[in-house]
Amino acid sequence: MRLILLLITLSILISSTSYAKVNVYVSIIPQKFFVQAIGKERVNINVMVMPGASPATYEPRPKQMIDLSKTDIYFAIGSPFEKSWVPKFESINNNIKVIHTDKGIVKRIVERHVHHEEDEHIHEGETTTTKDPHIWLDPMLVIHQMQHVANALCEADADGCNYYNSNLSKFTKDTIALDRKIKEIVSKSDGKYFMVFHPSWGYFADRYGLHQIPVELEGKEPKPADLKEFVELTRKLKLKAIFIQPQFSKKAAELIAKETGANVVAVDPLAENWRANLLYVAKLISTSF
């Protein structure tokens, strides 16, 4: 009798997990965190942009192109490299479903805070027309993106749809709580400005009433006249830290820090533990004035 019950139990367990996992590719590491939260054990996730690489200039590796030929869904996020590469992904896999998770999101324009005499067409305070791709750094925009993820997984795996939507509900609840926590952290500081080398944190700043001061724009190193302005601005605002990220040079930030006594602090917008990373950055900003 015990043997029969054991066999029945095993049969139920096997039947409850007898599903084909959805093979997924994402553009950047934080997306792995998002998709894993929705799909959990029902998805296999590969990441395109490897650690230390920049989404602005990334070129897929041969093995990744081979893997893409067996991928069910590609979750795009609006990274610069996708413009030229996503059509190539579709050309090697006619069955791949490309989901643009940034669909419906109005992109902010990257700001420029300084100018030099040679740039007569750009005046201080004006913006360029470069659109900011870093939408995953605003928790509320991530909730929007995850609705696209859940919908796509439901379409690919109808049997798991209730599961995906349940996970989406929990993710949304947790993300709203994260948003409240970040607001609480930054509200304890009187300062509203923080300096970064690469302008990655604009959506984060917009969401929480902050202002990022980017040292470089469109990959261009600041000129000596710019560095002078940044040194003066750092002193004026009494900034204690300049944030850099692993994918870019830290030389300019170190020069400003040397002249002002500010610290150079590494923050990575592409960190995999997205929730912990945003809390970490919020705490850094709240103590960096």
**Residue ranges of the chain that CATH labels 3.40.50.1980:** 21-101+114-179, 187-286
**Whether residue 233 has pLDDT greater than 50:** yes
Q: How far apart, in Å, are the Cα atoms of 84 and each of 14, 60, 217?
A: 43, 11, 21
pLDDT at 112: 63
Tokens found for residue 261: 């006594």
End-to-end CA distance of the chain: 71
**Whether residue 73 has pLDDT greater than 70:** yes
Contact assessment for residue 105 and residue 188, using Cβ atoms and an 8 Å cutoff:
no
Tokens found for residue 30: 């934080």
pLDDT at 149: 98
pLDDT band at 118, cuts 50/70/90? Answer: very low
* pTM (predicted TM-score): 0.85
Question: Can you tell me the mean pLDDT for 141-155?
Answer: 98
Please, what is the average pLDDT of the chain? 87
pLDDT at 1: 54
At position 45, the amino acid (one-letter code) is: I
Question: Can you tell me the mean pLDDT for 113-133?
Answer: 54
**Distance (Å, whole) CA 88 – CA 83:** 10
Instruction: For residue 139, give the nearest of 112, 166, 177, 110 by alpha carbon.
Output: 177
pLDDT band at 65, cuts 50/70/90? Answer: very high
pLDDT at 227: 86
Least confident of 32-36, 51-55, 77-81: 51-55
As beta bridge partners, residue 76 has 100
Least confident of 106-115, 120-129, 208-217, 235-244: 120-129
Q: Which residue has the higher pLDDT, 13 or 281?
A: 281
Percentage of the chain with pLDDT > 70? Answer: 85
**Whether residue 166 has pLDDT greater than 90:** yes
**Distance (Å, whole) CA 125 – CA 276:** 33
**Whether residue 257 has pLDDT greater than 90:** no
**Distance (Å, whole) CA 178 – CA 225:** 40
Instruction: Pick left, alpha or beta for residue 279 (phi over 0 → left; psi -120 to 50 → alpha; otherwise beta).
Output: alpha
Instruction: For residue 168, give the nearest of 7, 36, 23 by alpha carbon.
Output: 36
pLDDT at 127: 46
pLDDT band at 84, cuts 50/70/90? Answer: very high
pLDDT at 29: 96
For 246-283, letters b (16+ CB in 10 Å) and e give ebbeeebbebbbeebebeebebbbbbbebbebbeebbe
Let me know if domain 187-286 sits in CATH 3.40.50.800.
no
As beta bridge partners, residue 243 has 196, 265
Least confident of 47-56, 66-75, 92-101, 249-258: 249-258
Question: Can you tell me the mean pLDDT for 197-205?
Answer: 92
Instruction: Give Cβ neighbours of residue 149 (< 8 Å, ≥ 6 apart).
Output: 34, 35, 38, 39, 75, 99, 101, 168
**Whether residue 280 has pLDDT greater than 90:** yes
Q: Where are the alpha helices (DSSP H) in the chain?
A: 2-16, 29-39, 62-68, 82-92, 139-156, 161-187, 202-207, 224-237, 251-260, 274-286
Give the count of beta carbons closer than 10 Å to the beta carbon of residue 63: 9
Tokens found for residue 196: 């970064």
Question: Can you tell me the mean pLDDT for 28-48?
Answer: 97
Question: Can you tell me the mean pLDDT for 6-30?
Answer: 72
CATH of the domain spanning 21-101+114-179, picked from 3.40.50.1980, 3.40.50.920, 3.10.20.30, 3.10.350.10? 3.40.50.1980
pLDDT at 105: 97
Percentage of the chain with pLDDT > 90? Answer: 58
Contact assessment for residue 101 and residue 147, using Cβ atoms and an 8 Å cutoff:
no
**Whether residue 71 has pLDDT greater than 80:** yes
CB-hemisphere CA count at 13 Å for 52? 0
Instruction: For residue 77, give the nearest of 37, 140, 31, 138 by alpha carbon.
Output: 31
